[in-house]
Amino acid sequence: LTPLYWGAALRDFGVRDLIDALGAYAPSPRAQIADKRPVEAGEPKMTGFVFKIQANMDPKHRDRIAFMRICSGKYEKGMKMRHVRLGKDVKIADALT
């Protein structure tokens, strides 16, 4: 289930609801606690975490979309990332940024 908000910024309709929802549900932009130490936003190494996986958006395909919050560094197309739970490197095929 994905929340859907309607609004018009030029008419100031729904803007406050959207901002309140982002504050309540979106990941915090502050430093994130990792297993070993806090991860600071200014670090050059790319780190992030998946905060939502949405599946079966198209009934004709078995698809999954992972929403990832990048905590530090920069994502570059084709780069490999370490999947901590699986203990292996993965390449993200079609990232939308």
Nearest to 48 by CA among 58, 34, 59, 61: 34
- Please tell me whether the overall predicted TM-score, pTM, comes out greater than 0.75 for this model: no
pLDDT of residue 31: 66
Residues 14-23: pLDDT tens digits? 999 988 988 8
Amino acid identity of residue 97, one-letter, is: T
Domains (range + CATH), the chain: 30-91 (3.40.50.300)
Residues 47-70: pLDDT tens digits? 888 888 888 777 777 777 888 888
> How many CA atoms, within 13 angstroms, populate the side-chain half-sphere of residue 50?
13
8 A C-beta contact, residue 59 and residue 51: no
